[in-house]
Structure 1
């Protein structure tokens, strides 16, 4: 029997990077192969959204068809409406997450409707068969231009989502507003409504606080932590913004050195990050691939208590 992995890292670079950095389908599949070789098993693979708005992900169905040939993977996606959800189900996605923005201005720029109108659309989507439906809460901690948000602002939205029967959430710090106390407060509020295994947190590390959030997420029992290889990513609706996700290889090193198993080979992960930056030409950040891993960080971590 394999050992339980207490932290699930879900790799989002195939969606977050290539929605803003257009490459050939084969480049995306090569990235997936390299990540699988490093031990990654959970992916946000693409988005089923309008190709005229996000041309970099127009090949979502082809990417899913090829990735489905690799056994043992969990393949998720983003969707913006019921049509996108049906396409995702037809492509064989395990789960689809609706793009719900807590920020009204971004909601209209990204999807073309208000947050309230988006909730109405999400309610209509709950009857689509053949796929697990969850939702993002984009800008859960505030932004892109608005003030910070906390638990008090989040709770009415949480109740509305449960009224719709949607209890799988990705809380996204899309502008990187949150330091560990803010991360903890909002996650604790969310855990009053949903179980930890149904909650994911995704941090876009534009302000350099992403790694600091990891101890709180692990201690609180968040089921999934979303990361992006080489800290890559961006958004076509926010050109020039610091849209990269929390760097996967940096996060894995921190977790493994802290005694938290991830099941991911750090050396191969660094190789994949360098390939993404150099061969695929994707904008990239991160520390480990430049400085090299701390000796021993790529070895299996001891199953010790995480008490930060």
Structure 2
């Protein structure tokens, strides 16, 4: 039964619209102990697209040894290629992953690096400089093949081994990704320790032109994700990553909890008069359906409220 959706009483904003990068099918499902069936992943992506999300990160061409939850990446991508209206990027960790992605016919990829040495060693099994160089190589080959490339920088605010991350390190990594050819760079609060003040401080060090090409990737470990989005909006950010139903975390950083829930983000933005293009009832239904498959309630406040 579709719940009644109250009017969030939108107010007028000087910001007309923002872009949402939905990462639930990749960043969300990669951490689950339970393996979701390929056909259910395809259905999930279709439902997210039908809810009005223009960008849905479909999967990752990572080694099944490291992320068995996404071992069916080629099959999933083949099952969603018919969604021509939707941008369907995939994450590739290295040149082998890029080869597999190209064979599958992808048009858009994302590369992933860390702003800290400790996380690179624990997550990528290499130093962060080496990981960055590898991402630069992948980006170069991908561009030669006509692919759109997005960059992710993890641990932009805090690292479970190193603590607060120096802003200069984040700037250096993000700018190298821009120089390598990434059209967009997403700054990740991987363990969810950022505060609004820290977000403003970091973003304020980028140029105005750079901020038009930055995205903010928030986790809600300390309940600060929406406050950090507001700080991002105030700083000129117009692209935000989120996951339907608050899925996700990070399999290589034990303290990380779920991503910012797309429903919570949409509710806040639409209430501010900022267009997202997302049909919230359909999105809530898709997230509730996935929560049922996973056998637990969604952590999204909006999903819980509107499904009650």
- TM band (smaller chain): 0.7 to 0.9
**TM (normalized to structure 1)?**
0.86
Greater share of residues in helix: 2
Q: Which has the higher contact order (CA 8 A, sep 6+)?
A: 2
8 Å Cα contact 2:115-2:169 kept in structure 1: no
C-alpha separation between the residues in 2 aligned to 1:273 and 1:5? 26
Taking a change above 3 Å as real, the CA distance of residues 113 and 264 of structure 1, as seen in their structure-2 partners, is same
Taking a change above 3 Å as real, the CA distance of residues 288 and 70 of structure 1, as seen in their structure-2 partners, is same
Name 2:22's counterpart in structure 1.
11
Name 1:225's counterpart in structure 2.
240
Q: CA deviation at 1:193?
A: 6.6
Name 2:93's counterpart in structure 1.
80
SS of equivalent residue, structure 1 residue 243: coil
Residue 40, structure 1, aligned to residue 53, structure 2: yes
Residue 103, structure 1, aligned to residue 116, structure 2: yes
C-alpha separation between the residues in 2 aligned to 1:235 and 1:155? 22
C-alpha separation between the residues in 1 aligned to 2:179 and 2:43? 41
C-alpha separation between the residues in 2 aligned to 1:263 and 1:270? 14
Name 1:303's counterpart in structure 2.
none
CA deviation profile, 1:164-202 (whole Å, cap 9, x unmatched):
344521111101111111112222323457251x22111
8 Å Cα contact 1:150-1:185 kept in structure 2: no
SS of equivalent residue, structure 1 residue 234: coil
C-alpha separation between the residues in 2 aligned to 1:29 and 1:245? 20
RMSD: 2.2
SS of equivalent residue, structure 1 residue 226: strand
Residue 56, structure 1, aligned to residue 69, structure 2: yes
Where structure 2 has 5 or more consecutive residues not aligned to the other structure, the ranges are 1-14
Q: CA deviation at 1:221?
A: 3.2
Aligned residues: 288
Q: 2:189 aligns with which of 160, 173, 177?
A: 173
Name 2:129's counterpart in structure 1.
116
C-alpha separation between the residues in 1 aligned to 2:84 and 2:174? 35
Name 1:138's counterpart in structure 2.
154
Q: Describe how 1:259-278 pairs up with structure 2 within 5 A.
A: 259-278=273-292
Where structure 1 has 5 or more consecutive residues not aligned to the other structure, the ranges are 294-308
Q: Describe how 1:281-296 pairs up with structure 2 within 5 A.
A: 281=295, 284-292=298-306
